Amino acid sequence: MNLTAFRYKDLQLITKNFSDRLGAGSFGSVFKGVLQDGTAVAIKRLEGVRQGEKQFRAEMSTIGNIHHVNLIRLLGFCAEGEHRLLVYEYMPHGSLDACLFNKVSSDDGVLPWSTRYQIAIGVAKGLTYLHDKCRDRIIHCDIKPHNILLDASFAPKVSDFGLAKLLGRDFSRVITTMRGTIGYLAPEWISGTPITAKADVFSYGMMLFEIISQKRNAEHGKRCMDKFFPIQVANKIQEGDLQALLDADLRRDVNLEELQRACMVACWCVQEDESSRPTMGAVVQILEGLLQVNKPPVPRYLEVLAESLDQSVYS
């Protein structure tokens, strides 16, 4: 795999005994470290013997053998005793989640439209590689802003492959337990039917709505059915007034043609019938203006999703 095998004590040294924590997830924490040559790295320390081993193997088997500009790069690992750690390239701007929702991307808290649009295209290219260009098709299973990292120039890299599923090229579906994050889950996860790469397409579509608005799809404080942004987009597409979706600070530099493409793509991606969703390769072509797309029908599943989120918020 051309990966570096690190000793645990060396990782303790370069992280100053894991003192600079970048973030935490369900499988462990991520710390910043600096190699002897001055290269900054991000080190994921997996916690829990059984679960840590499971995620360690999942990430090694998926991204250990692949390389793409829009996928996080695995540099090395540590498998010493009970210690399971993964060493990745360091992403200076952190997660897309932080840049979109924590208002830290610029002085006024607004990530420029051109940057957000290029992030959307970059993530789509990364997923296209996973779905169509690897030896085994890889379904990420947990696409959301938290799992998209941004480098120094805000180029996106898909990360966190602990829930990913590998699918041989002779197969199009896989039966697996439900995995992912509420609010981004495709309806087939709920129904228990076998999963295809179109589950990632649905999650991408839900994330694309958030990239467009720079807000979470369902915000606390008002009833979700009134505030649920994907439903607003679907309705405005029918009315032909997409610019009205955006706040004044987002509207000032938006490219209306790109906004229309992004909104159309997002609505096609979240269709309940997976056969109606585009492939990620088609998404890239549409966003780059190389492929025309028809007006999508209103995705009825969005109303079901809004009601379920509404109950989870106010129960």
- Domain range enclosing 27: 4-89
Q: What is the mean pLDDT of residues 23-39?
A: 87
**Pairing mode of beta strands 21-25, 40-46:** unpaired
Q: Which residue has the higher pLDDT, 47 or 261?
A: 261
| Beta carbons of 88 and 75 less than 8 angstroms apart | yes
Q: What is the mean pLDDT of residues 53-81?
A: 87
Res. 213: pLDDT tops 70: yes
Q: Return all residues near 168 (Cβ < 8 A) that are at least 6 apart.
A: 136, 137
Residues annotated as catalytic are: 142
Closest CA to 44 of 28, 33, 61: 28
Q: Count Cβ atoms within 10 A of the Cβ of residue 19 and give its class: 0-12 exposed, 13-18 middle, 19 or more buried.
A: exposed
Closest CA to 147 of 41, 202, 71: 71
81 lies in the same domain as 106: no
Q: Rounded distance, CA 294 to CA 300, Å? A: 17
* Three-state SS at 14: helix
Domains contained in the chain, number: 2
155 lies in the same domain as 232: yes
Among 87-96, 170-179, 236-245, 297-306, name the one with the lowest average pLDDT.
170-179
120 lies in the same domain as 233: yes
Q: Rounded distance, CA 156 to CA 176, Å? A: 28
Tokens of residue 31, six digits: 């710390």
Q: Quick one: pLDDT at residue 166?
A: 76
CATH of the domain at 62: 3.30.200.20
159 lies in the same domain as 238: yes
Tokens of residue 151, six digits: 């480098």
Among 49-58, 126-135, 147-156, 282-291, name the one with the lowest average pLDDT.
49-58
Res. 168: pLDDT tops 50: yes
Q: Rounded distance, CA 260 to CA 272, Å? A: 21
CATH of the domain at 212: 1.10.510.10
Average of per-residue pLDDT values in the chain: 87
Tokens of residue 11, six digits: 């990782």
Q: What is the mean pLDDT of residues 88-108?
A: 83
42 lies in the same domain as 181: no
DSSP state of 27: T
pLDDT digits (tens, 9 = 90+) for 280-299: 999 999 999 999 999 999 89
User: 268 pLDDT band (50/70/90 cuts)?
Assistant: very high
